[in-house]
Structure 1
Amino acid sequence: MRHDAPLSSAGPVRTTCPYCGVGCGVLALPDGKGGAAVAGDPTHPANLGRLCSKGSALGETLGLGSRVLHPLKRNAAGDYDRVSWDVALDAVADGLKTIIAEHGPEAVAFYLSGQLLTEDYYVANKLMKGFIGSPHVDTNSRLCMSSTVAGQRRVFGSDTVPGSYEDLDCADLIVLVGSNTAWCHPVLFRRIQQNRAERGAKVVVIDPRVTATAEDSDLVLPLKPGSDGALFAGLLVHLTDQGLTDATYLANHTAGFDETLANARAIAPDMAAVASHTGLKLADIAAFYALWAGTPAVVTAWSQGVNQSAQGTDKVAAILHCHLATGRIGRPGGGPFSLTGQPNAMGGREVGGLANMLAAHMNYTPAEIDRVGRFWNAPNMARHEGLKAVAMLDAVAEKRIRALWVMATNPAVSLPRADHVLSALKGLDLFVVSENVISNDTLRGEPDFILPAAAWGEKDGTVTNSERRISRQRAFLALPGEARPDWWIICEVARRLGFAQAFNYPDASEIYVEHATLSAFENEGSRDFDIGAHSMLDRRAYDALNPVQWPVPAGRPLGTPRLFADGNFYTPDRRASLKPLATPALAATVSEEFPLVLNTGRIRDQWHTMTRTGLSPKLGAHISEPSVYVNPADAIRYGLTAGGFARIENGHGAVVLKVALDAGVPQGSLFAPIHWSAETASHARIGAAVQPLCDPFSGQPEMKATPSRILPVAYASRGFVLSRDPAALPAGSWWASVAVEGGQGRLFATDASAEELMAHSRSLFGEDGLVEMIDREAGIYRCAATRDGKLVAALFLGPAARAPLWDTVKAAFADPDFAPQNRLALLAGRRLDGAADPGPVVCACFGVGLNAIRAAFAAGNEVSVEDIGRQLKAGTNCGSCLPELRRIGASERQGASAGEAAA
């Protein structure tokens, strides 16, 4: 069985970025040493050559230092021994057989990931749902987009995103709901901003938190958390009362409008009721409704702020209702648009990666179970829906699920109530993890086997982005060690379970062809997902496959940019089904004990649990420490100081984070990033403090509103350590790891004294080649260690109010020509090249610092952001730093004006 892909012998390889659902095309040029130069692919329609800061830094994440390269088996002492593939695969198969024999197939589950390729996903679902006979296959996409899936299936009868990215170019109004697009989908945000600049499109941002996205918009609606449904119910009422609904479209292509309108009137009879629900000003609601009503070409796009909600399905449906009521769907520049979080969340849905779906967008109806079973010639088809992610881990804790195989994800960090999840994993009879990095908290769950999976750059297959565009992810690096593609690992276990004939694929292309063939099987237009035109691809055609939007049925190989303009939906009567909403409720009920609402989400330059982005020095430079963002008024109320520390706690868990003041966070709320894990920080695993409350339809957990409290935490000193290898810190220290050029960095806070740190440093680095400076009275200690003429370590400690010069010393540490005689100057905090300190990084794409940007703005009041781009290149790539550049410019101009007035 072939498990590798042919690598290009010359020139760049066209592939796809492994981060968000934008699905940007990438050109990767291998350097012959295991790395590659990475650039945007100007021919890919998703990004037209642009990459965000994360995509631009992909070349920094290809090293093997943290890779799992061989199968590992846990021994009796709790350590791991290297074993052969045959030993590992035989044992996994035998373990599954034993558990199935004793407890039945539903004692077995898979937990998958939007990081898997479609081909990996397909064989995992086929094995579990068709041959083992368990429905318990779910995915981390449950945490990402499952409320959209449920909402679209409720209304459209299918999990279909109607539009295309081109709609963002030609819309006259773009409404962004619960989406910090500037940071989370920056390449799409550049398209939106280009439309705004060139065509005058209006942008409305609806989000409880005023984010970087809101700073580049025409109207900002900072509504109460959980009130989105009321806002759009009110819009439906307004559109009807103004005579702006499309009566013909409603009559011919929808059902349930009268009941849905009556429900909307009960929720939001007028703008005053909407204002009461949402906390918005009447004038702002009126302005939004007037814009939406008076602009036929409107795109309403949403992301995690809508999805990660206990009422997420209703929120999605409320948006869809407004587009259907006006017939604004499937037309250029008009339609509802879900912005997917992961690179292959949609591809996983296509093959049945969610517990409540079968392959090819089929459901658990008797006819569809029979159809999939006949196509696969499956002996043990699952007969009902499986457990969704949160419920699946509860079943693990209760011993109803006894074997779990986790692939390409990190549930011990990302799932709500993460401590409970980690504890549950340790109780499994058989726990298997397919992973490509060792820096994964889920491995603390003590898996019996760790199987080395291929990583981006080595994988070969397909992914589907937010606009239904299928793209090839091509290999450009050889598989290292004994790493293998996920599909190969799954098929080898299937063979050992006795299902060899059904899983005898020579390469990924044959899996894709089978997937395409199933999509068209007994379809004839009855299902949305149909890529039957690909059912006859040979290996060469598969390798050359161009990006294409499904449906791609036989006879239509160029795909389908938009759907539903003709009113042909996938419900039994072919009409869109409008249904009443539950009464909208606020996302969290606070109390005297837990008076604040904890909101979680992404930051600009990191991705998920940092197992990849955490390797990049460039990406670690913008926001280096895990922080909680607090409204300044709340900071005063709770005794917090900017740059200090705070403990956030509730009934589920607790974290300690650095405090950052942010007026964009509403009073009564906290915002914390999801990315840091126990591998990358001491006390920042935010999933441990997130409630497990889920949407009743989608099963998606409420990640945006956990009742919590916040308390100040004091440390005597702060500092950092830089070393070629990871360096331990005194017990009880708070720390966060940061990738740096040439080694490992840790920012820390501690109650250890300067003398204690001196003794600790000597034990870490030895006294040979160590130069030290200590001021016991001031609580300052600094040291630098050299070996063989090279700087190998530095540790700086100072009082909490006087943080040491991290950026200056980090630059010296990265300098391969640093001379030992410069150590005293380094301990004094001076740059050795005489250059000005660039300050904290603002533009990650080009490494441009705050001080350099301030100096450029200081040249005169007429200096624009565009001038900064021409001079420093800041903001000229992905543009995600443009809102920050504008803030800096405004601050500098304000400061200059104040200085002139004082003079």
Structure 2
Amino acid sequence: MPVSPAIFRTSRQEGVSGTRTTCPYCGVGCGVLVASDVKGNVTVTGDPDHPANRGRLCVKGTALGETLATDGRLLAPRINGAEAGWDAALDLIATRLSQAVAMHGPDSVALYVSGQLLTEDYYVANKLMKGFIGSANIDTNSRLCMASSVAGHRRAFGTDTVPGQYEDLDLADLVVLVGSNLAWCHPVLHQRLMAAKAARGTKIVVIDPRRTATCEGADLHLALAPGADAHLFNMLLSHLADNGHLNTAFLQNVQGLEAALATARISDVTDTGLSPAVLDQFLTLWAGTEKVVTVYSQGINQSDSGTDKVNAILNCHLATGRIGCPGMGPFSVTGQPNAMGGREVGGLANMLACHLELENPDHRAAVQGFWACPTMADRPGLKAVDMFRAAEDGRIRALWILHTNPAVSMPDADRVARAIAGCDFVVVSDAFALTDTARLADVLLPATAWGEKDGTVTNSERMISRQRAFLPAPGQARPDWWQLAQVARRMGFSGFEWASPAEIFAEHAALSGVAGTLGSDFDISGLRGADYEELAPVVWPQAAQKGGRFFGNGRFHTPDERGRMVPVTARLPAKVTQAHPFRLNTGRIRDQWHTMTRTGMAPRLSQHLGEPYLEIHPADAARVGLAPATLAELTSPQGRAILRVMISDAVAPGQPFAPMHWTGETAPSGRVDALVAPVTDPVSGQPASKSTPVAIRPFAAAWYGFAISQRDLMPACDYWAKASVNGGAQLELAGAHAPEDWAAWATKLFGAPPTTTLTDLARGTHRFAIAQRGQLQGAVFVARDPVLLARGHLASLLGAAEGGALAGRPGADQPDPGPTVCACMNVGLNTILRSIAEGDALSLQALGEVLGAGTNCGSCRPELAALLHRHIQREAAE
């Protein structure tokens, strides 16, 4: 996006040209450098001096400069769909919130916030809700990704503390990845781990029902039965005890060993779905390796027994003393850029600021005194799933949603959308006007986005980094903290008079000092007087022992300073039924983020996997009659979805997988969370997003289609999925009934009659192009079966001469690169296969040297390795 150099600020840090800021995607918290050329074009590169990434970036971070256009941005407040001034919008919000409190009590108001908020935004929201409105009905979409880890930490350590540092991945002799597709979801950490493997022979074990991209670099893959993680780590605990691997000295500082062992011994190898030989290999390796790090993520957390799974892992580290020392410990990696910052300010419904306890009267009194607030929430509020249920049944009368899209991302998403639509008063603060949730708001507030926001974020290893603005706010967009503070002041509350995020951060740091006197681990009061503008990345607490690690000295944040081993009665998810015989696993893909409001703007990020799909085992596909590239219809008691079929033995029979990124704006029938059951962990309240029973059958498509267009199209058909391309969009299409007049259908699709038509009635194919002044504006291809075309080539023709577009393929002098495999270097599948077949590149190193593939973020390297492996197998067979 062109940016005027006049508004581009140069960082004063170490003479770096440009702005030092932090990536807005996952919890790795990578530092980035943003610069502009003489034409004002923005480029984003990894910051070589940021400790989290040392210059590395994944493909999403590399493409950040392509996501800065203001198309589709919400540029002014709206009341009931009509533009309004800020004063009118803020006054209305303040009035409606005050009325709800006066008429129905403080618990009739709720805030649903997001890990996309900066810490300063989060702080203001928490202060307003818990200290001034007087209810703990504030929860965050981080409830969907790491609440079970929070609950497990608090049970074991007395506080929500991540014990280790990223450096432990460099120092460990064994890294166990549990429910974590690190190669796709945290690529920079995966690069770091693979570098350690290459440099010092680090062993890697992946525990996951799926064979993910991360497995390509592993020494051992445990294809665990779905939900059996606690069984596995219970068996590990028993093995440690039975074979003399307990650390008796460290256990003097830990309670609960006997009870934890008693429940652990109930688990059996049959519960895990593993063979005794594979299980023994893992148990022996873990027990015999002192420097072991167990990294876990959503495969553990997103479960109806997620907290117990977390504690089963923590029990093994506590029993061996392998915690808080270089190269060893449990490590929860978070999915959002500021999930940790939200935890620090108490952004969850059951937490107080600065890791203090909402249920503790001394803690509440200290925070109330510091804030000088008239009241203080004295009990946990509604967690995410329960919050929207309360909106549905009328207990919540006023709901404010900030920077998240629950009508898509919550389990039972259709019901959540109906609850939001039926709530008396809904405010949505967002950067974009056209999201599934924004469409349901009574008041829409234009918020600043990455590049315009100024504040701090905390990554998965407790490192606080600055996120700095380098663009002006478009239109009337304003920071979230400002919106919240303005409403608070209009409600008659004092203490919200900040003029900048620096002032909010200083208050947050000062409160953490108060928390420190009460024994909280979170104390950043030493940063209160720091130069906020030039604040360098820092791990809290600054004076923590052993380089920022916790608990290696055997002291915990419990009343008696002893750790707690928790007895875990492991259980498996509820069995599937005859009506819904498949267990659906959901998750992320490599190149997209959440509901794609940002990543969807970068065309190259849609060229790897550009539409919602169902990954299903060949035996299952054969059993229900699914063919490759056709469509599958999935149903659950909650909802329905239509997804493209991808047949693969990377998933086990009965355990299909589907990604969760698509929305009503990009693929209305591909909203996967509409299927997911709203089942939650009883301790953490985190939904179980990886085990929903579903039924699967072929979608009876009468026709399939593919379209490209410079205009934004909204097709009227049973299935469509839209992805950005340079100069426009591409769409996959399908319908259960064929139109009687395809030319009329194409005219309606494009809003103008086609200029070129090619029809073969015998084959049932129809091709239409529309051009203006000889330049291609759009084209659509229709067939009875899935359409086979050179999609990338066709997308490249938009805006070019119309001739030849309806051929659907490049000429002989224009090789088709095929679907993108390496998005960083824009290298297609066909290009890679040609280089392998011709003998030009028969190793990962050679592919990098010849094509550049895999040389940047490395997240495509597992796919490259698989292509090479298949070639070698074919050569051997011949």
* TM-score (norm. length: structure 1): 0.94
Q: Does 1:608 align with 2:578?
A: no
Moved more, 425-434 or 765-774: 765-774
Do the aligned partners of residues 450 and 522 (structure 1) sit closer, same or farther apart at CA in structure 2, a change above 3 Å counting?
Answer: closer
Q: Name which of 794, 797, 809 aligns with 1:809.
A: 794
How far did residue 452 of structure 1 move? 0.2
SS at match of 2:290: coil
Could you tell me how far apart the structure 2 residues matched to 1:342 and 1:132 are? 27
Q: Deviations over 1:568-608 (max 9, x none)?
A: 11000000011211x22212311111111011111111111
What amino acid is aligned across from residue 291 of structure 1 in structure 2?
Answer: L
Do the aligned partners of residues 284 and 766 (structure 1) sit closer, same or farther apart at CA in structure 2, a change above 3 Å counting?
Answer: closer
Give 1:276's aligned residue: 270
SS at match of 1:337: strand
Give 1:216's aligned residue: 217
Q: Deviations over 1:2-51 (max 9, x none)?
A: xxx99614732111010000011111114588852111111111111111
Are 2:8 and 2:36, in contact at CA under 8 Å, matched by a contact in 1? no
Are 2:703 and 2:735, in contact at CA under 8 Å, matched by a contact in 1? yes
Are 1:588 and 1:597, in contact at CA under 8 Å, matched by a contact in 2? no
Give 1:341's aligned residue: 335
Q: Deviations over 1:455-513 (max 9, x none)?
A: 000000000000000000000111110000000100110110111x3000010001001
Give 1:544's aligned residue: 534
Are 2:809 and 2:816, in contact at CA under 8 Å, matched by a contact in 1? no
Q: Deviations over 1:178-226 (max 9, x none)?
A: 0111110111001111111111110000011111111210111111111
How far did residue 520 of structure 1 move? 0.9
Give 1:92's aligned residue: 93
Q: Does 1:392 align with 2:371?
A: no
Q: Name which of 366, 370, 388 aligns with 1:375.
A: 370
Are 2:592 and 2:599, in contact at CA under 8 Å, matched by a contact in 1? yes
Q: Name which of 710, 714, 721 aligns with 2:700.
A: 714
Are 2:754 and 2:768, in contact at CA under 8 Å, matched by a contact in 1? no
Are 2:790 and 2:810, in contact at CA under 8 Å, matched by a contact in 1? no
Could you tell me how far apart the structure 1 residues matched to 2:787 and 2:438 are? 37
Do the aligned partners of residues 766 and 458 (structure 1) sit closer, same or farther apart at CA in structure 2, a change above 3 Å counting?
Answer: closer
Could you tell me how far apart the structure 1 residues matched to 2:638 and 2:571 are? 22
How far did residue 93 of structure 1 move? 0.5
SS at match of 1:618: helix
What amino acid is aligned across from residue 344 of structure 1 in structure 2?
Answer: N
Counterpart mapping for 1:107-146 below 5 A: 107-146=108-147
Could you tell me how far apart the structure 2 residues matched to 1:687 and 1:12 are? 40
Do the aligned partners of residues 99 and 31 (structure 1) sit closer, same or farther apart at CA in structure 2, a change above 3 Å counting?
Answer: farther
SS at match of 1:883: helix
Q: Name which of 14, 31, 34 aligns with 1:28.
A: 34
Give 1:672's aligned residue: 658
Q: Deviations over 1:642-682 (max 9, x none)?
A: 11111111111111111111211111111111101111103
Do the aligned partners of residues 744 and 48 (structure 1) sit closer, same or farther apart at CA in structure 2, a change above 3 Å counting?
Answer: same
Could you tell me how far apart the structure 2 residues matched to 1:761 and 1:350 are? 54
Q: Name which of 611, 620, 630 aligns with 1:634.
A: 620
How far did residue 560 of structure 1 move? 4.7
Give 2:280's aligned residue: 286
Give 2:842's aligned residue: 863
How far did residue 836 of structure 1 move? 0.4
Do the aligned partners of residues 559 and 260 (structure 1) sit closer, same or farther apart at CA in structure 2, a change above 3 Å counting?
Answer: closer
How far did residue 794 of structure 1 move? 1.4
Could you tell me how far apart the structure 1 residues matched to 2:786 and 2:515 are? 69
Counterpart mapping for 1:822-833 below 5 A: 823=803, 825-831=804-810
Give 1:42's aligned residue: 48
Could you tell me how far apart the structure 2 residues matched to 1:9 and 1:167 are? 34
SS at match of 1:396: helix
Are 2:841 and 2:850, in contact at CA under 8 Å, matched by a contact in 1? no
Could you tell me how far apart the structure 2 residues matched to 1:6 and 1:234 are? 59
Counterpart mapping for 1:249-264 below 5 A: 249-251=250-252, 253-264=253-264
Give 1:512's aligned residue: 505
What amino acid is aligned across from residue 588 of structure 1 in structure 2?
Answer: A
Could you tell me how far apart the structure 2 residues matched to 1:654 and 1:760 are? 26
How far did residue 728 of structure 1 move? 3.4
What stretches of structure 1 of length at least 5 have no aligned partner?
75-79
Could you tell me how far apart the structure 2 residues matched to 1:16 and 1:812 are? 36
Are 2:172 and 2:327, in contact at CA under 8 Å, matched by a contact in 1? yes
Counterpart mapping for 1:451-490 below 5 A: 451-490=445-484
Q: Does 1:306 align with 2:303?
A: no
Q: Name which of 812, 819, 825 aligns with 2:801.
A: 819
CA RMSD of aligned residues (A): 1.8
What amino acid is aligned across from residue 193 of structure 1 in structure 2?
Answer: M
SS at match of 1:299: strand
Counterpart mapping for 1:306-455 below 5 A: 306-364=300-358, 365-444=360-439, 446-455=440-449
Give 1:16's aligned residue: 22
What amino acid is aligned across from residue 761 of structure 2 in structure 1?
Answer: R
Could you tell me how far apart the structure 1 residues matched to 2:115 and 2:809 are? 46
Could you tell me how far apart the structure 1 residues matched to 2:514 and 2:38 are? 44
Do the aligned partners of residues 509 and 33 (structure 1) sit closer, same or farther apart at CA in structure 2, a change above 3 Å counting?
Answer: farther
Give 1:703's aligned residue: 689
How far did residue 895 of structure 1 move? 2.8
Are 1:171 and 1:333, in contact at CA under 8 Å, matched by a contact in 2? yes
Q: Name which of 760, 776, 796 aligns with 2:781.
A: 796
What amino acid is aligned across from residue 549 of structure 2 in structure 1?
Answer: R
What amino acid is aligned across from residue 827 of structure 1 in structure 2?
Answer: L
What amino acid is aligned across from residue 397 of structure 2 in structure 1?
Answer: R
Could you tell me how far apart the structure 1 residues matched to 2:108 and 2:133 are? 10
Could you tell me how far apart the structure 2 residues matched to 1:892 and 1:322 are? 41
Could you tell me how far apart the structure 1 residues matched to 2:750 and 2:320 are? 69
SS at match of 1:683: helix
SS at match of 1:619: helix
Give 1:774's aligned residue: 759
Q: Deviations over 1:854-880 (max 9, x none)?
A: 011113397101100111111111111
Give 2:74's aligned residue: 68
* TM-score (norm. length: structure 2): 0.96
Moved more, 117-126 or 48-57: 48-57
Are 1:34 and 1:62, in contact at CA under 8 Å, matched by a contact in 2? no
Q: Deviations over 1:285-334 (max 9, x none)?
A: 11111111111110000000000011110111111111111111111111
Give 1:77's aligned residue: none
State how many pairs are aligned: 867
Give 2:14's aligned residue: none
Do the aligned partners of residues 400 and 574 (structure 1) sit closer, same or farther apart at CA in structure 2, a change above 3 Å counting?
Answer: same
Are 1:754 and 1:781, in contact at CA under 8 Å, matched by a contact in 2? no
SS at match of 2:797: helix
SS at match of 1:349: helix
Do the aligned partners of residues 724 and 862 (structure 1) sit closer, same or farther apart at CA in structure 2, a change above 3 Å counting?
Answer: closer
Could you tell me how far apart the structure 1 residues matched to 2:546 and 2:763 are? 69
Could you tell me how far apart the structure 2 residues matched to 1:263 and 1:32 are? 66
Are 1:173 and 1:202, in contact at CA under 8 Å, matched by a contact in 2? yes
SS at match of 2:708: strand
Q: Deviations over 1:535-555 (max 9, x none)?
A: 223xxx1011111111136xx
What amino acid is aligned across from residue 370 of structure 1 in structure 2?
Answer: A
Moved more, 289-298 or 862-871: 862-871
Q: Deviations over 1:415-460 (max 9, x none)?
A: 111111011111111100000012311123x211000000000000
Are 2:204 and 2:218, in contact at CA under 8 Å, matched by a contact in 1? yes
How far did residue 790 of structure 1 move? 2.6
Q: Percent identity?
A: 52
SS at match of 2:161: coil
Could you tell me how far apart the structure 1 residues matched to 2:520 and 2:159 are? 8
